[in-house]
Amino acid sequence: MDGAGWQQRVAMFAAALWWGSLTAIGFIAVPTLFARLATPAQAGSTAAVLFTVQSWVSLACGVLLLFASRSRDGDAGLGWARGALGFVLAGVLMALLSEFAVAPHIVARDNLRLWHSVGSAMYLVQWICAGVTLWKVGSLRSAGLS
Total of domains in the chain: 1
Name the residue range of residue 75's domain: 3-142
Q: What is the mean pLDDT of the chain?
A: 89
pLDDT value at position 124?
A: 98
Classify 95 in phi/psi space as left (phi over 0), alpha (psi -120 to 50) or beta. alpha
Query: pTM of the prediction?
Result: 0.88
| pLDDT of 146 over the 50 cut | no
- 43 vs 2: which has the higher pLDDT: 43
